Amino acid sequence: MKQNSIIARTQYISEGATLDAGPTAEDLEPESVWVFLTASKLFCTGSGFLLAASGLFVAGDLIVAASGYAAVLVGIALAFLALVLTVLGVLVHLLGWVALNEASTQSGPMRALYFLSIIGLVIGVVVFLWRDVPQPGFFLLFGGWILLPFLPVVFGPVVIGHASVFLLATYRLRPLHRFNLLLVGSATLLTLAVFGLFLYASSPGGFPQWLPLAGLMSLGYGFIFLELREEYDRRCRHLPLPWISQPTGSIF
The amino acid present at 107, given as its one-letter code, is S
The amino acid present at 115, given as its one-letter code, is F
Contact 78, 59 (CB under 8 A): yes
Report, as an integer, the average pLDDT of 178-203. 85
> What's the pLDDT at 7?
47
Residue 201: strand, helix, or coil: helix
Contact 231, 178 (CB under 8 A): yes
Q: What is the pLDDT confidence band of residue 116, given thresholds at 50, 70 and 90?
A: very high
pLDDT tens, position by position, 17-41: 444 444 444 444 667 778 888 999 9
Report, as an integer, the average pLDDT of 147-171. 88
* pTM of the full structure: 0.77
Question: Residue 222 pLDDT > 50, yes or no?
Answer: yes
> What's the pLDDT at 24?
45
CA angle 173, 31, 186 (to 5 degrees): 40
> What's the pLDDT at 250?
44
Buried b (16+ CB within 10 A) or exposed e, 50-72: bbbbbbbbbbbeebbeeeeeeee
Question: Residue 12 pLDDT > 90, yes or no?
Answer: no
